[in-house]
Structure 1
């Protein structure tokens, strides 16, 4: 993987996050978990390049996010094989299976092992937590969003604002190399 300046990113993240999806991976090179996400964003806040990520407390990745300062956002591409990996990581829990083994992904440590992406990622963003807060029912200005996405089951996401500390592109990207 080749490190690039964050300012060199040319992604349309509206399209990338909503249509391609991403893996949110938290933990360090020794112990981590990842999950699929299709909500979030990239922007500029506090004079820093940032991302905002939403994770439900029920997710196994939530524990890793809470207990570590770094996370990665990894983008695998739009191939059918990438979609299989996203579907697996979004529907199975790391409590029950080894997602790395099951998906065929190969871990690739970033930021001196403080976070992990995967060799198969076409783009990876290393991120450091800056701020976190829980979504709350009383804070919805449009109650229909609360009703639609949370209803009576709760499970309100926690929002993390993270500084993008580094960006890597895979000049030899090939998701087809997955098992």
Structure 2
């Protein structure tokens, strides 16, 4: 297992646009001893309710959603995209319902505060689940926006997690 240092959020200088939109992240959770992860490139970092938080969205069809819904916490792991592009793509397209895709991607699970994360990450956000909101047709202010991204009505649920730890190598 790799060694990580804990850092204060005020020292976290990474661009969320780069980290999430370009590098991608792995959302990882555990329920009843089962750990799964999925690749995501939509989300954000910010401040809400006087806390540092993450925003992420997960479709109802994703196995990771079942685990996050059954857990109190989850993690966001950021791997070097250049070195792990193949694994990140794989983890975003294969379901963990049918195989241990973390093992098949030759990645390892580590824990912080009892929350699983991907050990090969350079940066990890450990998050306490605070808020879940279902998205639907009525959620969109621009009428055609929902159709553009959800033609099949396979809406995401929005999750807000309070950042409890930031780990870095």
Using structure 1 for the length normalisation, give the TM-score.
0.89
The DSSP-based 3-state class of the residue aligned with 1:104 is coil
Is 1:11 the counterpart of 2:14 in the alignment?
yes
Superposed CA offset, 1:22-45 (max 9, x none): 000011693211000000000000
| Paired position in structure 2 for 1:62 | 65
Deviation at residue 8 of structure 1 after TM alignment:
1.3
The verdict on how the C-alpha distance between 1:159 and 1:29 changes in structure 2, with shifts beyond 3 A counting, is: same
| Paired position in structure 2 for 1:150 | 150
- Structure 2: state its 5+ residue gaps: none
Matches within 5 A, 1:22-171: 22-27=25-30, 30-79=33-82, 81-111=83-113, 113=114, 115-151=115-151, 153-170=152-169
The DSSP-based 3-state class of the residue aligned with 2:98 is coil
**Separation in 2 of the partners of 1:61 and 1:28?**
10
Structure 1 runs (4+) greater than 3 angstroms displaced? none
The DSSP-based 3-state class of the residue aligned with 2:99 is coil
- Structure 1: state its 5+ residue gaps: 171-179
- Which one is further off, 48-57 or 4-13? 4-13
RMSD of aligned C-alpha atoms? Answer: 1.2
Structure richer in strand, relative to its length: 2
Q: Is the 8 A contact 1:52 1:162 kept in 2?
A: yes
How many residues align? The count is 166
